[in-house]
Amino acid sequence: MFLTDFQYFGTIGFIQTLLKQTKINFDASAPFTKMSFKNRMVIVASQGPLNLTIPIIGGRDQKTPINEIMMDHSTPWKEQHLKAIRTGYKRSPYFEFYEPSLEQLYTQQEDKLVDFLGACQLWLKAQLKANWEIIPNIDAALQEEQEMVKYFSPWLPKNYAQCDSLPNYHQVFEDKIGFIPNASILDMLFCCGGKQVNQLLKAI
């Protein structure tokens, strides 16, 4: 069993690690941490990397379990994120193919952060045709009985671009701003398509 943190879709390096697993449990009881990919992702826009952050209610205390974190819907952040994704990737080769189901994902009405992140992971698994099985959250006692491999991604919003062991691919704005490594997996998905992403990341 592979135990890891929830991420907002996740960086390319994080998803590469998941693609090599068979059974994954996203730890809903893990503490929420600020300045992490638990509620943010980095897409590539025309001016460079763009952080998209899910606003939350409370959760400033980093000891709060992520399954207690509520999303703040007082601002239209889902519409804003979807608009930013459309603007950044409407010219990418595969965005049109994924847009309808992505839009449906962003119109779902969840209140808890983990519920939305879980839906993101299920959507991503389907688009990548990944072989991993997502195991529902299990309690601490059962974790002790399982052969658990705990993985905490070293990549954070402050250092994600330092990951240099990933394959290159053509990004939408590469000719203008250069190649941005280890952005959100959405960047690679829209530029390469799920089948090629799966093959490229498993090959390394």
Residue 185: which pLDDT band, with cuts at 50, 70 and 90?
Answer: very high
Size of the chain in residues: 204
pLDDT of residue 141: 47
pLDDT digits (tens, 9 = 90+) for 1-48: 899 999 999 999 999 999 999 999 999 989 998 889 999 999 999 999
CA-wise closest residue to 190 among 120, 89, 106, 50: 89
pLDDT of residue 35: 87
Strands 56-57 and 70-71: antiparallel
Residue 73 to residue 169: CA distance in whole angstroms: 35
State pTM to two decimals: 0.93
Which two structure tokens, joined as six digits, stand for 134? 């997502």
pLDDT of residue 59: 60
Which two structure tokens, joined as six digits, stand for 176? 């203008």
Phi, psi at residue 189, to the nearest 5°? Answer: -60, -50
pLDDT digits (tens, 9 = 90+) for 57-93: 976 666 789 999 999 999 999 999 999 999 999 999 9
pLDDT digits (tens, 9 = 90+) for 126-150: 999 999 999 886 655 455 556 778 8
- Written as one string, the DSSP assignment of 116-172 is HHHHHHHHHHHHHT---EEPPP--HHHHHHS--EEE-----TTTGGG---S-----T
